[in-house]
Amino acid sequence: MAVTYEQLMALQVKDEPVTITDRDTLLYALSVGMGRDPLDLNELPYVYEGMGPKTVPSMATAIQRIPILVSGLDMLKLLHGEQWLTMHNPLPAAGEFLCDSRVSGIYDKGPGKGAIVLMEAKVRTAAEGTPLFTATTVFFARGDGGIGGPGGSSPRPHAIPDRAPDLSTSVDTRADQALLYRLNIDRNPLHADPAVAKRAGFERPILHGLCGYGSVCRGLLKAVCDYDHTRIVGLDMRFSAPIYPGERIEIDIWRDGNVASFRARVAERGVVVMDNGKCTLAG
């Protein structure tokens, strides 16, 4: 057995420095689809420093640091299952930050059945210590069942209302979008190399899950926030199927007070790609 429950729960990193510039902020916005129309004055502040730059809230997932590579988990059998995000303050467009990361929970399914591992990152400004966000990445470690600890399942995902959506929107992805998004932080060849993608069972490179997450965030900014990035204070969802670069993502949205529930799908393939979505709005 490569890792134990006790080893994982003891894994934590304190005060890891993270620096971003406005170039990083502009690149992230471009990589999740902002600025497709360079004359769109709603999106231009996200990709042009002369009118901003505003920060896409989902960029937090490109700033977070989690100790996944040193965890001892079987990386070849690791799936990104869910992403949870709580914004404490809007992201600055540039600055120096500190990240505290740890394994916040493990749910062992048993030998041969895998385990669910929650990795949490809390990020704050380096100078003032102002909290910015808490991000939790939920992994399904298919190759690490039987590591010990409690059984059961991770917290129940957000329930989508049992009625027709109140509104729908869509966002496009470009054929080269994974090649652009990988310049943020994730250079996994699965998203660039056709041979690697085929060995993994895909017909071609797939879009990063977090690129789809950011693209859906872009759609929510358009549909329910009037492009005000400070309105999104929470963004949780479950990954349910891969997205191929170039596909259009249809987003169904249900509004209940300050919560916008959502589900994302690729209509031409008839698949739901993200489910149990919960976007919490300020005020």
Residue-level pLDDT at 186: 84
Active site annotation includes 152: no
Active site annotation includes 186: yes
In tens, the pLDDT along 226-251 reads 999 999 999 999 999 999 999 999 99
Q: What is the mean predicted confidence (pLDDT) over 118-127?
A: 97
DSSP 97-125: EEEEEEEEEEEEEETTTEEEEEEEEEEEE
Residue-level pLDDT at 77: 84
Q: Of 35, 186, 193, 246, which residue is the catalytic one?
A: 186
Ranges of each domain in the chain: 5-141, 167-281
Q: What is the mean predicted confidence (pLDDT) over 132-154?
A: 90
Q: Are 185 and 211 in contact (CB under 8 A)?
A: no
Q: Of 209, 214, 219, 277, which residue is the catalytic one?
A: 209
Computed over every residue of the chain, the mean pLDDT equals 95
User: CA–CA separation, 193 vs 196, rounded Å?
Assistant: 5
Q: Of 63, 116, 147, 206, which residue is the catalytic one?
A: 206
Helices (H), 19-148: 22-31, 44-47, 60-63
Q: How many helices (H) and strands (E) does the chain have?
A: 7, 10
In tens, the pLDDT along 78-117 reads 889 999 999 999 999 999 999 999 999 999 999 999 999 9
**CB within 8 Å of 39: residues ≥ 6 apart:** none
Active site annotation includes 229: no
The DSSP output letter for 60 is H
Residue-level pLDDT at 127: 97
* Same CATH fold assignment for domains 5-141 and 167-281: yes
Residue-level pLDDT at 166: 98
In tens, the pLDDT along 196-224 reads 999 988 999 999 999 999 999 999 999 99
Active site annotation includes 37: no
In tens, the pLDDT along 27-69 reads 999 999 999 999 999 999 999 999 989 999 999 999 999 988 8
Among the CATH numbers 3.10.129.10, 3.60.150.10, 3.40.50.10860, 3.40.50.80, which is that of 5-141? 3.10.129.10
CATH superfamily assigned to domain 167-281: Hotdog Thioesterase (3.10.129.10)
User: CA–CA separation, 68 vs 73, rounded Å?
Assistant: 8
User: CA–CA separation, 17 vs 97, rounded Å?
Assistant: 6
Residue-level pLDDT at 185: 82
Q: Of 158, 191, 208, 229, which residue is the catalytic one?
A: 191
User: CA–CA separation, 127 vs 118, rounded Å?
Assistant: 28
